[in-house]
Amino acid sequence: MKAKIELTNIEDVEKFTQAVSQVKDCDVRLFGKDENGNDWNISAKSILCSLIMAKSAQNRPHTAHEVDWNTTWVECEKDIYSVIKDFVVVDNQ
């Protein structure tokens, strides 16, 4: 499954990481673009990756609300919607 998500602060990052860490036997990855349009992807289960993501967000001059959340996605081979539903962005288009 692939879903657009929004993580607006460090607490969201920590809660999201804890939630997806419960997904067994399947890799969960975050994909996106930084403010310069460069692609990135990290393990969504790794607390180290989450801390790096949270720390880099703190050090950037941009706030979380300035990030283009249209480019932040979570991907997993399993349907994990019930685990991540609090972070999923629903398009009303």
Place of tokens 């996605």: 73
Place of tokens 């979570």: 74
Instruction: Note every long-range contact of 84-87, with CB atoms under 8 Å and residues 24 or more positions apart, other chains counting.
Output: 84/3, 84/5, 84/16, 84/19, 84/20, 86/15, 86/19, 87/5, 87/6, 87/7, 87/12, 87/16, 87/19
Give the Cα separation of 19 and 11 in Å (integer). 12
**pTM for the structure as a whole:** 0.75
pLDDT surpassing 90 at residue 11? no
Give the chain's mean pLDDT: 79
Q: CA nearest 44: which of 13, 70, 71?
A: 13
Specify the pLDDT at position 69: 47
Specify the pLDDT at position 28: 95
